Amino acid sequence: MRISVEEVYETVRMTLDHHFDIRTVTLGINLKDCIDRDLAAMVQRVRDRIVQKGQLLNRCADRIVYKYGIPITNRRIAITPASLLLEPLPHTKATVVRFAKALDAATRKADIDFLGGFGAMVQKGTTAAEENLIEAIPEALSKTQRICGFLNLASTHAGMNMNAIARMGHILRDLAFRSDNGVGCAKIAVFANVPEDNPFMAGAHHGIGEPDYSLNIGISGPGVVRNVVAKNPDCDLTQLSEVIKRTVFKITRAGELIGREMAGLMGVPFGIVDISLAPTTSTGDSVAEIIEAMGVGQIGSPGSTAALALLIDAVKKGGAMASGNVGGLSGTFIPVSEDEGMIRAVRAGTLSLEKLEALTSVCSVGLDMFAVPGDTEPEVISAIIADELAIGVANHKTTSVRIIPAPGRKAGDILHFGGLLGSAPVMKVPGTSAARFILRRGRMPAPISSLRN
C-alpha cells in the first residue's frame, strides 16, 4: 500500500516544524592495534585512521541527508579509551597533551566536530597511566577544541572510586579556571555505569568490548514529542503514554533505517540506536516543555518527577518496539543550559539543584550542563558527583555529571556559552561542606544488589 498524504505530511512536519533530526552519527573506532612504545609512531597510525574514516563518515552522511531529507546534525568519532593507548608510554603530562593535540588536529582535518574517548575506566582503581591522564586533563582539554573527555568513576559491580572522585573536584575546577565562563568543563562528563556504545558527547567512547568499528546513531525529537503531547491535552495518562510510544516508534524507525544504511555505505558494522530525547536551545525543542505540556506548571514543581518517569518509560517502550538495537544511554537528557524550559525554571526559582538530582533518578542521564558558583570548594564538587553517581550505582543505571564551576560568578548570574551549549543560570549549592566525608577517600563498596550470580 502506497504511503498516504497524511502519513507523508506527518513526517515532513516533524522535520520542518518540530526539529526532528538525527542528532549524531558517531563512528566508534578501535585504536588498540595502534599502541606503541614510541609516541610518534602511535600518533601517525591514529591520525591516518581518524582522518580517513572521519572523511568517509562525512561523505556518507551527506549522501544520506539528501536521500532521506532528515538532517544529520553532528558527525562524531569515539575512540578506545585514551588511557589504554597511553599505558606503555612515559607517564608525563607532556605525553598526554601531545597525544590530545594530535587527536585534535586529526579531528579538525577530517572535519569532524567532536572526538570522544579521551578518558579512562577507573571505577575500582587507578593505574599509574590513568592517574597521569587524569592529572593532565585540565591542560589537555584546555589546549584542544574538539576533544571530549570521560571518566567512569563508579559502577554497580565495583562500587565507587572515592579517591578519583575526591581528585575530580580539583581537576574540574582547574579546567574551569582555564577557560571563559568555565566552558572547558562542558567537554568532560564523569559517569557511573558508563555504556560502551553511547554516541552522544561529551561521554562517548568506543568500549573495549566493541569490534574494530561500530556506527552508532543518536536520534532526537523532543519537539516532536512535545507536539503530540500538546495535541492531546485531555486524555488520561495511560492514553498519553500510548501516544508518546507511537511517536517514538516512528522516529526510532527512521534512526534505525538511516543507521543501517550509513553503516552499509561505510562498510562497517551497525551498532546501536540511542533513543535519548536530547533538547536543543531552539524554541520548542525542549524536554522541560514536554513535562509542562503534560500539565505540570513548570518543571521542578511537584509532579515533575512522576511526569518524567512516564515520559522516559513510554520512550523506551516505543523505541524497543521499533529497533532490536536500542542501546547507548537511551534515556531523556535534561541538561540545564541546553533547554529553554530548564533555564526558565531555574531562573524562576522553581528548579533547584536538589530537584534536578531527584529528576535524574528516574530518567538518565544525570546532572548535565549546570553551573555552580566559582568559589564552590573542590570537595563540594566531588560531593555533588558522589551523590549523583550513587544514584546510578544503587539503581543499576547510568548516571553522569557535567558540572561547570563558573569562575568569579555567584548564584543567580547567567553564563552565555552560545551555540549548542546555550546559557546556564548559576545554581545555588545548598548546605555546608561534606569535605570530611569526601576526604576519607577509599572505595565505597558495591551495593548488595550487585551480588546477582
Query: Where do contacts with other proteins occur on this chain (CB under 8 A)?
Result: 2-12, 15-16, 63, 66-70, 250-251, 253-254, 256-257
Nearer to other proteins, 321 or 358 (CB): 321
Nearer to other proteins, 8 or 41 (CB): 8
Nearer to other proteins, 129 or 225 (CB): 225
d(CA 339, CA 74): 18
3-state per-residue secondary structure call for 93-118: HHHHHHHHHHHHHHHHHCCCCEEEEE
Nearer to other proteins, 12 or 41 (CB): 12
Within the chain, what is the greatest distance between any pair of CA atoms?
68
Residue 414 phi/psi, 5-degree rounding, is: -120, 130
d(CA 86, CA 129): 7
**Minimum distance of other proteins from residue 232's CB (angstroms):** 15
Residue whose C-alpha cell is 577509599 = 442
**Minimum distance of other proteins from residue 92's CB (angstroms):** 48
- Give strand ranges (E) for 235-334: 270-274
d(CA 320, CA 327): 9
**Minimum distance of other proteins from residue 62's CB (angstroms):** 8
C-alpha torsion sign, points 181, 373, 425, 172? positive
415 to 158, 329, 418: CA distances (angstroms)? 37, 27, 9
Rg (CA), the chain: 21
Nearer to other proteins, 4 or 432 (CB): 4
d(CA 238, CA 331): 20
**Minimum distance of other proteins from residue 6's CB (angstroms):** 7
Nearer to other proteins, 45 or 316 (CB): 316
**Minimum distance of other proteins from residue 278's CB (angstroms):** 19
Half-sphere exposure (Cβ direction) of 79: Cα atoms closer than 13 Å: 34
Please give the single-letter amino acid code of residue 89.
Answer: L
Helix (H, G, I), strand (E, B) or coil at 427: coil
Nearer to other proteins, 6 or 236 (CB): 6
Nearer to other proteins, 98 or 253 (CB): 253
**Minimum distance of other proteins from residue 3's CB (angstroms):** 4
Nearer to other proteins, 142 or 323 (CB): 323
d(CA 303, CA 280): 23
Residue 177 phi/psi, 5-degree rounding, is: -75, -5
Residue 120 bridge partners (DSSP): 151
184 CB contacts (<8 Å, ≥6 apart)?
A: 138, 141, 142, 175, 176, 178
d(CA 198, CA 3): 33
**Minimum distance of other proteins from residue 238's CB (angstroms):** 21
**Minimum distance of other proteins from residue 290's CB (angstroms):** 20
**Minimum distance of other proteins from residue 227's CB (angstroms):** 12
**Minimum distance of other proteins from residue 1's CB (angstroms):** 8
Nearer to other proteins, 36 or 261 (CB): 261
